[in-house]
Amino acid sequence: MVPDHLNRAFRKSLGRLRHPGTGILLATTSTMVLVLSLVGFTAEKSTDQSAREPSLLDLLDEVARDADQKESLPGLPPKVPEASPWSSPLARQCSDIDQTMRTRLLAKRRELPQIRQLIPADPTNFGERYRSDPWGQPLNPAPRVVILHETVYSLTSAVNTFLTPHPRDEDQVSYHTLVGLDGSIVDVVDPLKRAYGAGYSAFHGEWAVTNPEFQGSVNNFALHLSLETPGDGHDSYGVHSGYTSAQYDALALVLDDWLESFDIDPAAITTHRHVDLGGARADPRSFSWENLQNRLAALGSLCRT
Ligand SMILES: [Zn+2]
């Protein structure tokens, strides 16, 4: 029998496995094997009352170990280029909470397990997180930055892109989670896996080069979330009418979950625009940090030490 705490960790780490279909199994098989082996391992020790509940980071460590580079290239990885400094618009906030908003968000949070959908991306569109680079240098695979994006086109078209197999490395793309204009939440990549949400990119002078044929990126230590673009923003330039209240609610609930699950600093919530080193990305356009600040404060996410 699987202990309850492992059941909880299992459910949380794999996202929501309520939706039938072989795609789910394909997308999560390696994690599942790992978790099941952990279950067996811990079950043997279950008589020890002090047995610690495996955190998502424990599970990640095991997953990443399987992805380690087998042979090292000579020399050193390319250095991350200088980028303009950035500091988060989000501020610590423990008072002046909007109680009406808090009540609404807490009610939505209770419904989250039912409304959060899992539509797994094709396995060509994501990969494992690495603990070492091709030159044998150690990498920390723990998610510690959240990158916000926008879909530019509809959520459905983004999902279809992620469901499409992309054999060529340069075509592979994914986010971990999408948030629709109606507040719907669609998880497409397990947060323990590496989504291909950003190309040439760095956060506070850090990137990871996981393939010697490509420039470095934040993907190895990032969680990617994309907001569905409203209809007047389908031209991919300029501004648009912005995101809905339901969308900011859902965004805050996913972020609150990630911050807690992976012990991420709210100051590490950033945008594709700010991590992009190529200067070509501007997403998410028309984003209101104030709307996010108010909601995260209402959830208590901005008042943790
Ligand atoms: Zn983007």
191 and 293 inside one domain = yes
Q: How confident is the model at residue 83 (pLDDT cuts 50, 70, 90)?
A: confident
> Is 31 a residue whose pLDDT tops 50?
no
Which pLDDT belongs to residue 246? 97
Which pLDDT belongs to residue 235? 79
200 and 147 inside one domain = yes
Question: How many Å lie between the centroid of ligand 1 and the Cα of residue 83?
Answer: 18
Phi then psi dihedrals of residue 62, to 5 deg: -70, -45
Asked if residue 92 is part of any domain, the answer here is no
Question: How many Å lie between the centroid of ligand 1 and the Cα of residue 300?
Answer: 27
Asked if residue 75 is part of any domain, the answer here is no
Domain that holds residue 197: 99-298
CATH number, domain with residue 182: 3.40.80.10
Cα separation, 247 vs 47, in Å, equals 45
Question: How many Å lie between the centroid of ligand 1 and the Cα of residue 199?
Answer: 9
Question: How many Å lie between the centroid of ligand 1 and the Cα of residue 22?
Answer: 29
The letter for the amino acid at 207 is W
Higher pLDDT, 250 or 279: 250
114 and 252 inside one domain = yes
Asked if residue 278 is part of any domain, the answer here is yes
What is the average per-residue pLDDT within 72-79?
A: 87
Question: How many Å lie between the centroid of ligand 1 and the Cα of residue 194?
Answer: 15
Question: How many Å lie between the centroid of ligand 1 and the Cα of residue 296?
Answer: 22
Which pLDDT belongs to residue 4? 36
**Structural domain count of the chain:** 2
45 and 103 inside one domain = no
127 and 232 inside one domain = yes
The Cβ of residue 96 has, within 10 Å, a number of other Cβ atoms equal to: 7
Higher pLDDT, 74 or 29: 74
Question: How many Å lie between the centroid of ligand 1 and the Cα of residue 37?
Answer: 36
Question: How many Å lie between the centroid of ligand 1 and the Cα of residue 148?
Answer: 7
119 and 238 inside one domain = yes
Asked if residue 249 is part of any domain, the answer here is yes
> In this structure, is the dihedral angle defined by the CA atoms of residues 54, 60, 62 and 63, taken in order, positive or negative?
positive
Question: How many Å lie between the centroid of ligand 1 and the Cα of residue 147?
Answer: 8
Question: How many Å lie between the centroid of ligand 1 and the Cα of residue 91?
Answer: 23
113 and 9 inside one domain = no
Beta bridge partners of 194: 127
21 and 143 inside one domain = no
128 and 43 inside one domain = no
Quickly list H helices, 2-147.
4-14, 22-44, 56-66, 99-115
Question: How many Å lie between the centroid of ligand 1 and the Cα of residue 66?
Answer: 28
| Helix, strand, coil fractions of the chain, as percent rounded to 5 | 40, 10, 50
Q: What is the pLDDT of residues 183-240, one digit of tens each?
A: 999 999 999 999 999 989 999 999 999 888 888 999 999 999 999 999 999 876 789 9
Question: How many Å lie between the centroid of ligand 1 and the Cα of residue 197?
Answer: 6
Contact yes or no for 89/270 (Cβ under 8 A):
no
47 half-sphere exposure, CB direction, 13 A CA radius:
1
CA–CA distances in Å: residue 55 to residues 97, 187, 260, 269: 30, 20, 11, 21
Question: How many Å lie between the centroid of ligand 1 and the Cα of residue 284?
Answer: 7
Residue found under tokens 């960790």: 9
Question: How many Å lie between the centroid of ligand 1 and the Cα of residue 235?
Answer: 15
Q: Which of 17, 47, 66 is the last residue of a domain?
A: 66
Residues 6+ apart with CB under 8 A from 173: 125, 161, 162, 166, 196, 197
Asked if residue 160 is part of any domain, the answer here is yes
Which pLDDT belongs to residue 62? 66
Question: How many Å lie between the centroid of ligand 1 and the Cα of residue 155?
Answer: 14
Nearest Cα neighbor of 150 from 296, 295, 282, 293 is 282
Q: What is the pLDDT of residues 160-169, one digit of tens each?
A: 999 999 888 8
Cα separation, 241 vs 231, in Å, equals 9
Asked if residue 246 is part of any domain, the answer here is yes
Q: Which of 17, 50, 66 is the last residue of a domain?
A: 66
Share of the chain above pLDDT 90, in %: 62
149 and 40 inside one domain = no
Asked if residue 84 is part of any domain, the answer here is no
Phi then psi dihedrals of residue 27, to 5 deg: -70, -25
Asked if residue 89 is part of any domain, the answer here is no
**SS3 (DSSP) at 44:** helix
Question: How many Å lie between the centroid of ligand 1 and the Cα of residue 76?
Answer: 29
Query: pTM for the complete prediction?
Result: 0.81
- Exposed/middle/buried for 235, CB within 10 Å: 0-12, 13-18, 19+? exposed
Q: Which of 44, 66, 88 is the last residue of a domain?
A: 66
Q: What is the pLDDT of residues 257-292, one digit of tens each?
A: 999 999 999 999 999 999 999 988 889 999 999 999
β-bridge pairing 177-179 and 185-187: antiparallel
123 and 200 inside one domain = yes
129 and 197 inside one domain = yes
The Cβ of residue 303 has, within 10 Å, a number of other Cβ atoms equal to: 14
The letter for the amino acid at 65 is R
C-alpha gyration radius of the chain? 19
